[in-house]
Amino acid sequence: MPEKRKMSLDEIRSLHGGYWRYDILDFHYLYNHYFPPKELIERLQEKLPKIIDNYPSTHKVIAKSLAKWKDDEWFNENNLVLGNGSSELIKVLNQIMPKVTVPIPIFNEYVQLPKERMNLFLVGEADKFKIDIGALIDSIEESKSEFVVLNNPNNPIGNVLAKSDIEKLLETGVKVVVDEAFIDFCRDLSVEDLVPKYKNLIVIYSCTKSMGFAGLRLGYMLTTNEEVKEKVKGLLPIWNINSIAEAFIEIFPDFRKDYENSIKKTLDDKKYLFEKLKEIPFLEPYESCTNFVFCKTSVSARKLAEILYGRYNILIKDGLNQASLKSDSYVRMGVKTKEDNDKLIEALKQIRENT
């Protein structure tokens, strides 16, 4: 029987997931390898026979369960809209935003709009891709944008905007969408507590980036803006949250301490990876408030990705080609366990010796 051909880098990436089927060490997508704990998974398994035999609850019931995650009065079922991952909510928001300013670089899903509806605000490399809030406000006003979108922390860079800067944006009256997919790695910088103060604030949160269950698909939108809430809800299916994710929502509060500990462990692994990457001469890692490290390269990012995949079955993210990143000089590497991080570092050292 002939040996099965190994897929090319482009072929494996075109799958956009499902990498558990293959012998790949995945630094492309982003994980929490310390959560959920075994006991939580076992409790989900106990519920499976009943869960898979029944429809999930409707949105209002599940939102009420999610509201129990936090004690804040404004974190309630009326202000929450649940999504099949934050990507579903982003896609719906893209349908309802008439004119939006998008600082670049940003998560790719936010640039899936017709050009006439987007005002691209290019953030340069000179100051480590830090956003100048004054210049951003000028761009919003000049373009007559009704919305502005922010990743905070930023993806793919990993840097963070101060809460005071986001308040400056909110004070202008523009509707501000803040995607906090990675905020649990720097929770003190969240703007969720500004939701009751500003009706023009829409917060997006992804449970998959930090909670370690990307396969369940769960995210939420938090806002007091009735118009935005109703438009988004009107475009979502009645059963957009599956029953396993619904059961997780109910169980999660019993494991909050485990979750907090998993975040600390992931940040320790990030710090370790960051320091090791600084030892690789052709990489310049950026400080990151996330579970990934963004690097500038002095070699071809594409060639580096091809060598890591072809020789070592290691997958990283290159091709970060949004406007100001439109070059072959940047990569992003997700944080894994120390053992796996060492495999990446060893591969990079071997590449160094052979270049």
Q: Which amino acid is at 273?
A: L
> Is residue 76 left, alpha or beta, with left meaning phi > 0 and alpha meaning psi from -120 to 50?
beta
Q: Which of 11-20, 77-86, 251-260 has the lowest mean pLDDT?
A: 11-20
In 144-185, alpha helices (H): 163-171
Reported pTM: 0.94
In this structure, are residues 316 and 115 in contact, taking their beta carbons and an 8 Å threshold? no
Q: Write the pLDDT tens digit of every residue in 121-170.
A: 998 887 788 999 999 999 999 999 999 999 999 999 999 999 999 999 99
d(CA 94, CA 78): 22
Q: How far is CA 298 from the centre of its chain?
A: 26
Q: In the predicted model, is pLDDT for residue 50 greater than 80? A: yes
Report the run of H or E that residue 60 belongs to, with start and end.
helix 59-66
At which residue do the structure tokens 């922390």 appear?
Answer: 153
Sorted by where each starts, the structural domains of the chain and their CATH numbers stand as 9-36+257-353 (3.90.1150.10), 40-254 (3.40.640.10)
* Band of pLDDT at residue 108, cut at 50, 70 and 90: confident
Q: Write the pLDDT tens digit of every residue in 179-231.
A: 999 999 999 999 999 999 999 999 999 988 899 888 889 999 999 999 999 99
Query: Which CA distances in Å does 332 have to 26, 40, 185, 294?
Result: 12, 30, 17, 4
In this structure, are residues 291 and 311 in contact, taking their beta carbons and an 8 Å threshold? no
* Band of pLDDT at residue 354, cut at 50, 70 and 90: low
Q: What is the DSSP string of 64-132?
A: HHHGGG---TTSSTTTEEEESSHHHHHHHHHHH-SSEEEEES--GGGG-S-GGGEEEEEPPTTTTT---
